[in-house]
Structure 1
Amino acid sequence: MILAAGRGERMRPLTDTTPKPLLQVGGKPLIVWHLERLATAGFKEVVINHAHLGQHLENALGDGARWGLSISYSPEQVALETAGGIANALPLLGDAPFLVVNGDIFCDIDFAQLREGLQPGYLAYLALVDNPPQHAHGDFALDDGKLLIDGRNRLTFSGVAAYDPALFKGVVRGDVAKLAPLLKEAIMRDQATAFHHQGVWHDIGTPERLQSLDEQLRHSV
């Protein structure tokens, strides 16, 4: 699942007319980089949720056939936050564990590794990254492979993770719900793990960051 329902307030005015995941870097939309990498990693089915300017996403991406994918859409009248959006899309996602990727990041995280990394009995397997300047305190700690809510070696949640559908069983479909409380509960029950991704990762939260990444990608070609 690619999360694409956010309004992108900090990206305005760019997002007044274009959904954030359709903003371009390196000559193609952010979300297309994800689709290409998902296809390369062996994924076949993708669910995309949307709210703000959602029809633009459907018009641009279609059924996904050009990437060898089958895309389904989970529209939201009002953005339901991360956990709410995932819970709302569960009928499309099925009963097996699934991968979730934020639509407004750029990364080279190994999606295939995440798909294989969620072990039986666990509810979440997160990719963590070094703390960026705008999020210096991080989200969780990783101590010798153990995921902790607090600790010294704090890292930032990348927005990429594998989940078991059971993580969202307490979320009512259509309700707004945040992901962090569910993850913290799973960590406290020792049902969540993580790894430290030390490769490419960018959170495209402002027009300046978008422009910077675009310049990097164009110069690297």
Structure 2
Amino acid sequence: MILAAGRGERMRPLTDTLPKPLLEVKGKPLIIWHIEKLVASGFSEIVINIAHLGYKIPEYLGDGTSYGVKISYSDEQISGALESAGGIKKALSLLGDAPFLVVNGDIFCDYDFNASFDLEDKKAHLILVKNPPHNPNGDFGLNDTLVLNEAEHMYTFSGIGYYNPALFDSVSETKSALAPLLRDAIENKNISGEVHLSDWHDIGTPQRLEDINKAIH
């Protein structure tokens, strides 16, 4: 699943006329970078949630045929964006009963998606990165492969995670943030993780978009 429903307030005025995942890095929309990498990694079905100017995303992508993948859309345009946990909950009927990958539509990274990732007995597996300047204190710690809420060395959640649908049993199809849900599961030692040390960018502001376009060759 690609999360693509956010308003992108910090990206204004760019997002006044375009949903954030359609903003371009080196002439290619962010969401296309994801789709091409997911297809190359063996994924054959992708769910995309849409809200702000959401109709523009299926207009651009269609059903995914031209990218070699089946794309389905979870439409939040009427309700308004449901945030990450609410959006995932609404999309579960499209995602099915097996564990699935979720990636934020507004990041740019070289993480290798794994279509056959095994969660084993965990509710989720989070990809963490080194803390960027805009999040110096980080989000989570890591003890071997066990994610912690607090630790001496903290990392930032990359916006990439593998999830068991059961994690969302307590969530309703209303606005619901992902972080509290993760923190509760972490307290119960139900979430594993790893640190991705290579390239990762949160394209959250026009300046960061400009910076990544200058940095990528």
Q: Could you say which residue in structure 2 is the equivalent of 1:68? A: 68
The alignment status of 1:87 with 2:86, answered yes or no, reads no
- Name the amino acid aligned to 2:198: G
| CA offset digits 1:115-155 (Å, max 9, x no partner) | 44442221100000000000000000012222110011100
Q: Kindly indicate whether the alpha-carbon contact (under 8 Å) linking 2:45 and 2:69 is maintained by their aligned counterparts in 1.
A: yes
More helix, by proportion = 1
Q: Kindly indicate whether the alpha-carbon contact (under 8 Å) linking 1:123 and 1:163 is maintained by their aligned counterparts in 2.
A: yes
Q: Could you say which residue in structure 1 is the equivalent of 2:179? A: 180
Q: Kindly indicate whether the alpha-carbon contact (under 8 Å) linking 1:139 and 1:154 is maintained by their aligned counterparts in 2.
A: yes
Cα separation, 2, equivalents of 1:48 and 1:166: 20
The alignment status of 1:154 with 2:176, answered yes or no, reads no
Q: Shift of the alpha carbon at 1:216?
A: 1.6
Q: Kindly indicate whether the alpha-carbon contact (under 8 Å) linking 2:149 and 2:186 is maintained by their aligned counterparts in 1.
A: yes
Report the 3-state secondary structure (helix = DSSP H, G, I; strand = E; otherwise coil) of the residue aligned with 1:205: coil
TM-score, normalised via structure 1 length: 0.95
Q: Kindly indicate whether the alpha-carbon contact (under 8 Å) linking 1:118 and 1:163 is maintained by their aligned counterparts in 2.
A: no
Q: Kindly indicate whether the alpha-carbon contact (under 8 Å) linking 2:108 and 2:203 is maintained by their aligned counterparts in 1.
A: yes
Q: Could you say which residue in structure 2 is the equivalent of 1:213? A: 212
- Deviating more after overlay: 116-125 vs 55-64: 116-125
Q: Kindly indicate whether the alpha-carbon contact (under 8 Å) linking 2:131 and 2:155 is maintained by their aligned counterparts in 1.
A: yes
Q: Could you say which residue in structure 2 is the equivalent of 1:32? A: 32
Q: Shift of the alpha carbon at 1:215?
A: 1.5
Cα separation, 1, equivalents of 2:52 and 2:175: 15
Cα separation, 2, equivalents of 1:34 and 1:212: 19
Fraction of identical pairs, as percent? 56
Say what the alpha-carbon RMSD is for the aligned residues.
Answer: 0.9
Q: Kindly indicate whether the alpha-carbon contact (under 8 Å) linking 1:123 and 1:167 is maintained by their aligned counterparts in 2.
A: yes
Q: Kindly indicate whether the alpha-carbon contact (under 8 Å) linking 1:3 and 1:49 is maintained by their aligned counterparts in 2.
A: yes
| CA offset digits 1:77-106 (Å, max 9, x no partner) | 211010000000000000000000000000
Report the 3-state secondary structure (helix = DSSP H, G, I; strand = E; otherwise coil) of the residue aligned with 1:111: coil
Gaps of 5+ in 2: none
Q: Shift of the alpha carbon at 1:186?
A: 1.1
Report the 3-state secondary structure (helix = DSSP H, G, I; strand = E; otherwise coil) of the residue aligned with 2:134: helix
TM-score, normalised via structure 2 length: 0.97
Q: Which runs of 4+ in 1 moved over 6 A?
A: none
